[in-house]
Amino acid sequence: MPATLLDSNVFKDIFTTAEMRHVFSDEYRVSCYLEIEAALARVQGRMGIIPQEAADEIIRKCKVENIDFAKLKTATERIGYPILGVVQQIVALCDKGLGEWCHWGATTQDITDTANIMMIRAGLDLIEADMEKIAAALADLAKRHRDTAMAGRSNLQQAVPLTFGFKCACLLAAFQRHRERLKQLRPRVLAGEFAGAAGNLSSLGTQGLAVQDELMKELKLAQPEIAWHTVRDRIGETGCFLGLVTSTCGKISMDVKLLMQTEVAEVYEPFHEGRGSSSTMPQKRNPIASLYIHANAAVVRQNVASLLEAAVADHERSTGPWEIEWIVLPEIFLLAAGCLRQTRDMLTGLEVDAKRMRANLDLTNGAVVSEAVMMGLGPYLGRQRAHDLVYDICRVSATENKPLVDLLAQDKEISKHVSRAELEKMCDPAQYLGLAGEMVDRVLKAEAAAKHA
């Protein structure tokens, strides 16, 4: 019976995805073990290290459908690791005792770590696919809303105007950096492990490195420069990367939640009948995807800390830290996949209310552009005097609920330098968007270049 949300028949497709569950399933993991054992036999048969007849027989029997998972469970509980249980079943299946050549010169951690790298490779492919869809959704929003004015917010207060396209382009730029990180990460991380008991390949004599090289070619993995049984930066880097990616998704979810507040109402998650409804308040349209994104991203970060704890390993084979990876690495990938999928689906259907954005800019009677007024008056009054004067007038505007431009125009110190028309231009939020549009264009240009690279 499923016991966690990641395998719950009710929740599993909310918190993760079927594709990522497959990558970290028992069946896929064992299929990776078998692929490695078959590749090892193929290489060693070719090199004359084991009889070719044995290599052919081992390869024939290394099929996941040949594995009795109930027996494997029992063997794993008895031994403590699944690899020997798998090898024992293959040995028993092979004719004429040829299975005794299986796993020749390897050790349990070689097969386990290399299988983990293969699962990481498959998992990163799924992560990348959703990253690209998120980037495409952000690029579309940035382009469509390049000039859609809205309030920028600082400490949850309106600060200065910017555009919704600018907000989306900032997030798109982060995903562009994540894309580059992933590109740089793969050559470092996707290296297999085949090093024997203590890492020096002593069991294969002078042929050890040649076997290692050929094995990695068979598996389409990089050959490690030296054993990494207890030097776990490859795994840690993978976790940190997913922590960064999901944190960006968490940032997106945070902003969407805040922008969905009744008093703000500038964007909404995609509408589906009944989604986000309350059991007692019929008017409610709660954020839903944002909640799951936030939760998943938070747990990923906590699991990354545990993954880094696994890097503090003892000597050449660790006593405990390694098993931490077994627990948290799959969870990190599963939660990251759910986080990215929810983000992708939310952004592709995001509802943007440009009119409400403009209306909210007008809530402060013009105070949102007080910086523009201060900078406009600075050449005449000096920056500090302009700041203090505008500050005082903003307080009056707020307490008396009067338009800022009217109070500015009535001030004698201001009116002798600038006209009412000039003040109205200063107080128009659409006239104080800075270089938001140009910055959006730069990010979109980079995205187009990346797509055609």
- Which is it for the CA torsion 284, 4, 326, 189, positive or negative? negative
- Alpha carbon distance 36, 31 (integer Å): 9
- Three-state secondary-structure class, residue 13: helix
Residue 119: closest CA among 370, 401, 334: 334
Burial of 385 (0-12, 13-18, 19+ CB in 10 A): middle
- Coil vs helix vs strand at 105: coil
The SS3 assignment for 265 reads: coil
Check 278, 395, 415, 442 and give the catalytic one.
278
In this structure, which amino acid lies at residue 38? Answer: A
Instruction: Report yes or no: 219 and 35 within 8 Å, Cβ to Cβ.
Output: yes
Nearest to 24 by CA among 323, 240, 333, 339: 333
Q: Which residue of the set 46, 181, 317, 385 is catalytic?
A: 317
CA distance 61 to 51: 16
**Can you point out the beta strands (E) in 97-224?**
149-154, 157-163
Classified as helix, coil or strand, 352 is strand
**Cβ–Cβ < 8 Å for 306, 328:** yes
Which amino acid makes up residue 101? Answer: W
* Residue 144 annotated to the active site: no
| Structure token pair of residue 333 | 């990938």
Our answer to whether residue 29 is catalytic in this structure is no
Alpha helices in 47-152 (DSSP H): 52-61, 69-79, 82-93, 108-144
| Chain Cα centroid distance, residue 54 | 44
Q: Output the six-digit token pair for 378.
A: 């600075």
Half-sphere exposure of 293 (CA within 13 A, CB side): 26
Say how far apart CA 265 and CA 260 lie, in whole Å. 5
Q: Euclidean distance between the first and final Cα of the chain, in Å?
A: 47
Is residue 85 within 8 A of residue 122, CB to CB? The reply is no
Q: Which residues are catalytic?
A: 278, 317
